[in-house]
């Protein structure tokens, strides 16, 4: 079975992939992907930034 980046990467490297690498995911869009979308879906209050 072919390996994927998820198979050999640490948790921190996976988070960095979404928070620091893509130039197309910034600002409010990044906030939605990394915390706001999940908080709203679960009806949780947003944590203090």
Residue 43 has pLDDT above 90, yes or no: yes
Higher pLDDT, 4 or 43: 43
Looking at residue 19, what is its pLDDT? 79
Distance of CA 10 to the CA centre of its chain: 14
Q: Which two tokens stand for residue 3?
A: 């390996």
What is the Cα–Cα distance from 22 to 27, expressed in whole angstroms?
Answer: 12
Residue 13 has pLDDT above 80, yes or no: yes
Looking at residue 2, what is its pLDDT? 56
Return the closest-CA partner of residue 15 out of 41, 34, 37, 38. Answer: 34
Residue 27 has pLDDT above 90, yes or no: no
């Amino acid at each position: 079975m072919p390996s994927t980046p998820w198979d050999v990467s640490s948790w921190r490297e996976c988070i960095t992939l979404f928070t620091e690498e893509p130039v197309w995911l910034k600002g409010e869009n990044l906030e939605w992907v990394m915390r706001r979308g999940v908080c709203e879906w679960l009806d949780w209050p947003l944590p203090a930034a």
